Amino acid sequence: MRVQPSKIYADTINGLGGVAVPIPGAEIYTASQQGVVDGGDLPVANMVPLKLFEVSKYFSLTYHNYGATLLAINLAVWKSMTSDEQKLLISVGKEAQARHRQGMERVDNLAGAKNLLEPRGLAVNAANIGAFKEVAKDKIWPQYQPQYQEIWQKLTSSG
């Protein structure tokens, strides 16, 4: 399963019983086409612009990770900005973040995924989220508990 080149993404797929293959985003299509990977770890919205529907048969909504949206800037550049420029950047960044999240949420559900992907030939599946969560609690989360003790209770007690 293709994952972003990141320890937590690899740990997640491996913990869920897959075999994680870290591959940069620009190589996903070719890796899928050549059989280097049998699947990918991507949001619904990325399937069309990356044309992955051309090399995929299925899309399963597992919700096994969450892709946050954020605004990042070099600290030196940030410090070189005036207070008004910083406030403007934060304001525009929050607006852009909200618009991006709204666009993602429009397709990041069963109906949205089916509407976007089925016309392109993919079968869209709803996964058993409870089963994924139970495996994650047993196989993935414990290795991160010491590092994130403050939020551990929230993770394990949320429904």
Residue 85 lies in a domain: no
pLDDT number for residue 158: 58
Residue 145 lies in a domain: yes
pLDDT number for residue 159: 52
H/E stretch holding 12 reads helix 7-15
Contact 65, 141 (CB under 8 A): no
Domain of residue 63: give its range: 2-67+109-157
CATH code of the domain covering residue 52: 3.40.190.170
Distance CA 87, CA 135 (A): 43
What is the number of domains present in the chain? 1
pLDDT number for residue 149: 83
Positions in the chain whose pLDDT score sits under 70: 155-156, 158-159
* pLDDT tens figures, 97-110: 999 888 888 888 99
- ∠ CA 152-156-159, rounded to 5°: 135
pLDDT number for residue 132: 87
pTM: 0.78
Residue 101 lies in a domain: no
